[in-house]
Amino acid sequence: SFFFFFFLFFFFLFSFSFFFFFFNDTATTEIYTLSLHDALPISEIIGAFLGSFFILSFVGEKANLGVNMPNHDLSIFLIFPVEVLASAMLMGVIFYVVYTKGLRGFSGVAIGGIVGLDILFLAFISGASMNPARALAPALLSGSLSDLWLYLTAPFIGTIITAFLFRNKFQAQKASNYE
């Protein structure tokens, strides 16, 4: 099908660009790293659309393309803070892994573990998207836009709160690096 070949084309394209960016010499890698960092949100959204197209072509619309849905039996005054909390916990673990050296080799386990725990304990309340790009593509392609505002706002609020909580740690680490 068209979607399958579309998916394969972009898979090989991104695989080649990954090889080019990370296995080139050091001087050009630094130049490309800046542009790769700037393009990361766009790449994440493209990846979400490719994944949604993949599900659409193989599973069909019966799976609703993996759209996050909150539990509408609960109040939005519970759902919204739970989604903020899920995003804040994920960002807190990411900050901890990045800015401490105690988890060498286990950072993927820590981050994957918190994603799994967020989904296990919070998905039945808020849907536990924790990522606006991951929520955007399935919602747009399936037409389920009624709850998209939740997944576009709550993760930003949760990660901003976490950034403010970790701000002193960042400043202390930056000061110790300059000593």
Which one has a higher pLDDT value, 37 or 157? Answer: 157
Instruction: Write down the pLDDT at residue 11.
Output: 52
CA distance 154 to 160: 10
pTM of the model: 0.72
Calculate Rg over the CA atoms of the chain. 19
Q: Yes or no: say if 90 and 111 are a contact pair by the CB < 8 Å rule.
A: yes
Per-residue pLDDT of 109-131, as tens digits, reads 888 899 899 989 998 898 888 88
Residue 22 pLDDT more than 60? Answer: no
Res. 5 pLDDT band, cuts 50 70 90? low
C-alpha angle 92/96/98, rounded to 5°? 115
Name the percent of the chain lying above pLDDT 90.
17
**Average confidence (pLDDT) over 89-102:** 82
Residue 148, amino acid: L
Instruction: Write down the pLDDT at residue 179.
Output: 61
Q: What is the DSSP string of the chain?
A: -HHHHHHHHHHHHHHHHHHHHHSS-HHHHHHHHHHHHHHHHHHHHHHHHHHHHHHHHHT-GGGGGG-----TTS-HHHHHHHHHHHHHHHHHHHHHHHH-STTTTTHHHHHHHHHHHHHHHHHHHH-----HHHHHHHHHHHT--TTHHHHHHHHHHHHHHHHHHHHHHHHHHHHHHH-
Residue 50 pLDDT more than 60? Answer: yes
